[in-house]
Chains A and B, each alone.
Chain A
């Protein structure tokens, strides 16, 4: 049977997490359809060039601008009946939407898969990534969210999918969008960055994050943070890396003034190279770091910014 992927997008472009999700779908079957619900009639056409997608199912309506789950989940329920698997990225978009669709289909969702064993069996991290469970699903339609960092993305181009429209838009009188504060930055996004430099409680203040930013600017890096730094108000919530924040796996992750709690490691320990800068030589972060520098960050960071 065919595999359905729910596209995450911002109405102007398809989000990279969708491309990782399609990569996971390819391990389940070759006939991959992409569901695009948007207010932009151009978007489904531009999505039709994505590698490995054979059909785009497009639903275009002004009410779909904010893709609230009260409207989207019933639509997915209707579309899903002709598929064996329905996949979405395990981002806040997919985490919000998919369990709602799953319950409507009376299916027990498999969250945040990091591996595909066969059509029914998946690997997923549990207990903040302390363990990896292999889970088999016996539901006939499987709803799945995908950990983007575990699957290399397909290309945005190279495909030529047919575009088919799905017109039963569901009206939603239960919830409404009020506003959004989306962080704007010239730096790469955390989940797409090749290099990330993150600060923790050791940074002492939000102002001190400029020490990280000047290094980030030189390396083309994104800036992240621990929960403690977000809770303390140094930086906004979208910086948080970890079990309950963002999962990242860049080529290089530099943790500065971060102790290395298991909840933080859960979000970054699959990075290729890990550097830790911490003044406490016993900090647990050093147990996962390829290169550890025991130093006061207020000395090390300016020197690093200068010499890198």
Chain B
């Protein structure tokens, strides 16, 4: 079984992102970048499927600027076999990313695509579902458990009401939720080895897809800030404030 794992370079989750002073976009100057946490979970799941003998090859792919090579190398260090960078401008929209990934699917014919349910920059939660639509394949989103059984996968999904299990025919698209696994860290020897693994580059403009942006960012602002509250000294004072000041209970 061949697995394709699309990943994304995003701001590290510990960074508190702020708007640029002219409010034209977010300020990403000199901030730490990383593999999107949900993508790390996707890589981990693929690597576990390889370790258990279910998968034979894992290909990491990303759509982004050449800076994204760093994240592909991380994926290689974590156990992916080879990587593909589809070079594009900064921040392509999810629909464009999905169209580009669909082309890679057609070239590689993987049995499974595992990717994160959302990237923590735009918080869009779209790419996997869009890719499934373009390829006319089943989707199993927000996965907390994945079991491969022959030509199908049983996937348990985290939904608002609890958990739902569905069965999808392969090839299928699976998007990861937080509880699917706990990703490992790359070891130093594996980081060294990853430098020698194959990393192919393609240009998005050579894929024959429509890459035009459909949306424009008009402005980016800080959300309304909450006014600082007070510290109460005791449970009694808390109850009094909630009853008589906030009238919340």
Contacts and interface: CB of A to CB of B under 8 A. Distances in A.
Contact of B160 (A112, A246, A290, A293): A246
A292 B229 contact: yes
Contact of A287 (B19, B213, B228): B228
Interface string A81-109: 00000000001110111111111101111
A91 B160 contact: yes
B130 A103 contact: yes
Interface string B215-249: 11111111100101111101110110110001011
Assign chain A's interface to a size class. Answer: 35 or more
B226 A178 contact: no
Interface stretch (B47-55, B82-90, B105-113, B134-142): B134-142
Interface string A257-297: 00000110000010011110000010000111111111100
A263 B129 contact: no
Given A108-B214, A127-B11, A292-B232, A174 B242 contact: no
Contacts of A102: 95, 126, 130, 133
A273 B242 contact: yes
A178 B167 contact: yes
A219 interface: yes
Interface string B132-157: 11100111111010000000001001
Contacts of B137: 174
A294 B223 CA distance: 27
B133 A99 contact: yes
A134 interface: yes
A227 B38 CA distance: 14
A109 B97 CA distance: 13
A96 B141 contact: yes
B139 A243 contact: no
Contacts of B167: 175-176, 178
A177 to B, nearest CB: 6
B192 to A, nearest CB: 31
Contacts of B160: 91-93, 191, 238, 246
Given A135-B217, A303-B235, A291 B154 contact: no
A138 B215 contact: yes
Given A92-B158, A95-B125, 17 more contacts: A96-B139, A98-B129, A103-B131, A126-B220, A135-B216, A139-B215, A174-B137, A175-B166, A180-B162, A180-B164, A238-B161, A251-B248, A262-B16, A274-B226, A275-B242, A286-B229, A292-B230
5 contacts: A175-B166, A180-B163, A181-B163, A244-B178, A246-B160
